[in-house]
Amino acid sequence: MKRCSFPFALLIALATLSMHAQTIGGNKDPNHADTFTLSVRSQLVVETVTVKDKQGNPVPGLTAADFTLTEDGVAQKIRYCEHQVLPLATAPLAASKPANEDIKIYKKLTRTQLASEASDSLRYKNRRLLAMYFDMSAMRPADQFRALGAAEKFIRTQMTPLDVVSILRYQGGSVDVLQDFTADRNRLLSILQTLTVGEGQGDQNSVDDASSADTGAAFGQDDSEFNVFNTDRQLSALQTAAKMLGQLNEKKALIYFASGLRLNGVDNQAQLHATVDAAIRAGVSFWPIDARGLVAEAPLGDATQGSPGNQGMYSGTAAQAVQSGFQKSQDTLFALAGDTGGKALLDYNDLTRGIVNAQQAISDYYILQYYTSNSALDGRFRRVKITLNRADAKLDYRQGYYAGKEFGKFNTVDKERQLEDALMLEEPITELTIAMEINYFQLNRAEYFVPLVVKIPGRELALAKKGGADHTLIDFVGEIKDVFGGSTVSNVRDNVNIKLTDATAAELIHRPIEYDAGFTLLPGKYTIKFLARDDETGRIGTYQTTFTIPNLNKEVQRVPISSVVLSSQRVDLKDALYDAMKAKDKAKEAAVNPLVVNNRKLIPSVTRVFNVNRELYVYLQAYQPAAAAAKPFVGVVTLFLGDRKVYEAPPIAVTPPTSTKLTAVPLSFSIPLAQLPPGEYDCEVTVLDPTDGKATFWRAPIELAAN
C-alpha cells in the first residue's frame, strides 16, 4: 500500500560532534573567582498501599523497613512511610439542619487551584478525601437537580468525621474550585445551594468570540469550533482536576457527576488515555455517576431528537441506533472508572450510592514516598512492585506510572528524536488541541482513497518573526497501522513553514490551521496516531483513533456509498490560506482527490459547526458496479430540529454511463442556512436506487452558530 497524494519531504538532520582537548594542571589567574553550578534533579514518587490480612482486616504498625519497593526491577529506598487510619465502621456525623431550614450562606469564592501540601507533611492525616466534580455542561437541568440533591443528601446524612469534601465545577471552559477540602458541613451545603440548576447549559454549544473573558484557569479553550460534538473538552477538564488533586499525597476519590460522555464521529482516544494517565500519576480514582439514573429509553428516541423518517423505523435499525448511542455515552464513564481504580454508577436512581461507594473504598492505607533512581524525564512507563517482608498479606497499590516529560532547547537532531520518541510512547501528549476527520472514497474494486484533514486552533500556536515576515512553524508526523497484523501500512512526515501576511496573522487568533494528507488503503480496520508540534514552543498534540474502511463490493442490501463530507468552505487551490503544499503536489491532489473539483477544494468541517451566514455543502459518492446497466441514483438531504423536519433539499438525480469499470457517481448539495435559527440539528442523507429498490441512510448531528 502506498500513499497516493501529497508527497512529503523527510527531513535529514546532520549533526557535527566537536571534541575539545582536556587541559590538566594548567596555570590560572589566582585572582580569578571560581564559579560552580550544581544541578540536581530528583523525582519524588508517592505510592499508596492498602495492606490487609487473610481475614480482610487492615494490618497496622508497619514501617518502611517492612516493605520492599522496586521500580522496573531496581530496588528503591523508601524515604517516608505513614499509616492512614480510616475505619469503615465510623458513624455518620450528627444530623444537620432539615433540608427545608435555611442555612448560613457563605460568600462563594471561585478559584482555579486547590491548596497544596509539602511532600513530607500530611495536611489531611487520617482523613478521607472526596472531591465532588459537577460537569454542568454535560447534564440537563433535571440531571443537575438529581446530582446536587444526591450530594446534599450525602453531606447531610452520610458524611462521617473522617471525611473532608471539596466541590469542583466544570463550566464555561474552566475548572472552578468552589470549595477546598473541608469538614464544615454547613459551608459545603452553602456551596451546593448557591449552584443554580440550569447553569452551564449550552456551554458546549455557545460561541465564544474575542470579547470573551479569560478565565485564567489551567484549562481553557477559546475556539468554539473545537468545543462541539467532542469529548476532548470534558476529558481535558478532568485531566486538569486530576493534576490539581495530585498536589496532595493522600488517596483521592473524584466523584464525577455527568450525563454520560456522548461520543460522536471519530473521537480522539489520545485525550482519554492522557486523562487516565494523569489520574494514575496523581493518585486519583474516578467514580463517575450517571445523573440520568435508570432510563426507560423510547425505541425511536424521545422528543429531543427528530423522527427517523426512513425505513430504519420499521426494520429496527433506528431503535438499535438509539440504544447503541445511549450505551456509548456510558462506555467512557465505565472506562474512566475501570482504568483508575474506581467504579461507575450506571442505571441507578439513588445517586448517593455512588458517593458512598467511593467513601467506603478508601480504608486504612500506607503512604510510601521515594526518590526514583531513574531521573530521566522521558515520559515512559515505570513499573512498580511492592512486597511485604513479613507475614502473608494482600497488597493493593498502583502498579506503575508514566514519568514526566521535559522539553528544553533542542537542536535539529534533538527535535527529530523528540518527535520519534513521542510517536512511540504509549502515553499521548495533549499540549495542543487537535481535531481530525478521516473519510474514504472507492477508487477501484480493490483500493480506497483516504483523505484526512487536521485542524489546530490558531490561538494555540506561536508566531515567529523571521526577516520581517510572520511565520508559524509546525511539524507533523503520523502512522497508520493494521489493527490485526500490527504492521505499519503508511506514514506521513512533514515540516510546514507557513508564511502569513499581516492580515492573515491577525486572523490566526480566530481561525484554525488546516493540514491535509491522503493515503491509498485496502478495506480493513486501522489505527492512526498523528502528532503535531509547534516548533517555537515544543508543545505537542496527539490524535489517536481507530477507523474502518468497509468493503463496498460486498454491499448487496443497500446502495454502496462513500463517506459523507459536510463543509462550509470551497477554496481555490492557489488561494488556500494555510496550505503548505507545493504546486506540483496540488496538481497531483487535483487528479486523485474527489474533494477537488475544477481546482477548488472542499474543506471538511471536522467539528461540524457551521455559521448560519454561510452555506452548508454536502458531498458523497455512490458506486455503480462495472458493466452494470445505467440507472439513476437519487439523493436527498434533510435537516431536523428536535422532532421537526425544518428543511429538505430538492432531490438530485444522477445517471452514470455504462462502463466496464467501477463508476463513482458524485452527489453534491448546497444548502442555504440563513433562514435557519442557531441550534443543534440532525443532518440526514438518503440515497435511493429506484431501479433495484435499494436505499442507504446516513445521519449525524451538526451545530448551527450565529457568528
- pLDDT attached to residue 176: 87
Residues 295-306 have a mean pLDDT of 65
| 705 and 576 inside one domain | yes
| 577 and 544 inside one domain | no
Beta bridge partners of 124: none
How many other CB atoms are there within 10 angstroms of residue 7's CB atom? 12
- Residue 562 burial (CB < 10 Å; 0-12/13-18/19+)? buried
Q: Which H helix or E strand runs over 449?
A: strand 448-457
Full-model pTM: 0.62
Q: How far apart are the first and last CA of the chain?
A: 43
- Pairing type for strands 163-171 and 128-135 reads parallel
Q: How many CA atoms lie within 13 A of 436 on its CB side?
A: 30
Residues 386-410 have a mean pLDDT of 78
| 538 and 390 inside one domain | no
Residues 576-597 have a mean pLDDT of 60
Percent of the chain surpassing pLDDT 90: 33
pLDDT tens string 46-83: 999 999 988 888 999 899 999 999 999 999 999 999 99
pLDDT tens string 132-142: 999 988 888 88
Q: Do residues 209 and 707 touch, judged by C-beta distance below 8 A?
A: yes
Q: Do residues 67 and 388 touch, judged by C-beta distance below 8 A?
A: yes
| 524 and 574 inside one domain | no
Total domains present in the chain: 4
Taking the alpha carbons of 129, 130, 135, 141 in that order, is the dihedral positive or negative?
A: negative
| 470 and 577 inside one domain | no
Q: Which of 548, 583, 605 is the last residue of a domain?
A: 548
Collapse the DSSP code of 375 into the 3-class scheme (helix H, G, I; strand E, B; otherwise coil) and give the result.
coil
6 domain-assigned: no
| 518 and 470 inside one domain | yes
| 429 and 498 inside one domain | yes
Q: Domain residues for 666?
A: 555-707
Q: What is the CATH number of the domain that holds 274?
A: 3.40.50.410
pLDDT at 551 over 90: yes
DSSP 265: S
Q: What is the CATH number of the domain that holds 497?
A: 2.60.40.3880
C-alpha cell at 320: 438499535
Q: Do residues 112 and 218 touch, judged by C-beta distance below 8 A?
A: yes
| 388 and 427 inside one domain | no
| 506 and 599 inside one domain | no
Q: Which of 503, 530, 548 is the last residue of a domain?
A: 548
- pLDDT attached to residue 17: 29
pLDDT-derived band at 549, boundaries 50, 70, 90: very high
274 domain-assigned: yes
523 domain-assigned: yes
| 620 and 588 inside one domain | yes
pLDDT-derived band at 351, boundaries 50, 70, 90: very high
| 341 and 194 inside one domain | yes
CA–CA distance, 341 with 148 (Å, rounded to integer): 24
519 domain-assigned: yes
Q: Do residues 349 and 294 touch, judged by C-beta distance below 8 A?
A: yes
Q: Do residues 683 and 547 touch, judged by C-beta distance below 8 A?
A: no
319 domain-assigned: no
Beta bridge partners of 637: 685
CA–CA distance, 655 with 620 (Å, rounded to integer): 15
| 394 and 468 inside one domain | no
Give the phi and the psi of residue 487 in degrees, each rounded to 5.
-90, 150
pLDDT-derived band at 364, boundaries 50, 70, 90: very high
**Residue the block writes with cell 495542543:** 432
493 domain-assigned: yes
pLDDT at 547 over 70: yes
How many other CB atoms are there within 10 angstroms of residue 479's CB atom? 17
pLDDT tens string 178-220: 999 999 998 999 899 888 776 654 443 333 333 233 333 333 3
pLDDT tens string 40-54: 456 789 999 999 988
Q: What is the CATH number of the domain that holds 576?
A: 2.60.40.10
Q: Do residues 112 and 172 touch, judged by C-beta distance below 8 A?
A: no
- pLDDT attached to residue 5: 39
CA–CA distance, 91 with 159 (Å, rounded to integer): 9
CA–CA distance, 468 with 134 (Å, rounded to integer): 48
30 domain-assigned: no
Residues 362-371 have a mean pLDDT of 92
Q: Which of 515, 548, 581 is the last residue of a domain?
A: 548
Contacts of 460 by beta carbon, 8 Å cutoff, 6+ apart = 432, 433, 534, 539
Question: If you write DSSP's letter for every residue of 348-405 in order, what string do you get?
Answer: -S-THHHHHHHHHH--SEEEEEEE-S----B--EEEEEEEESSS--EEE---EEEPPB
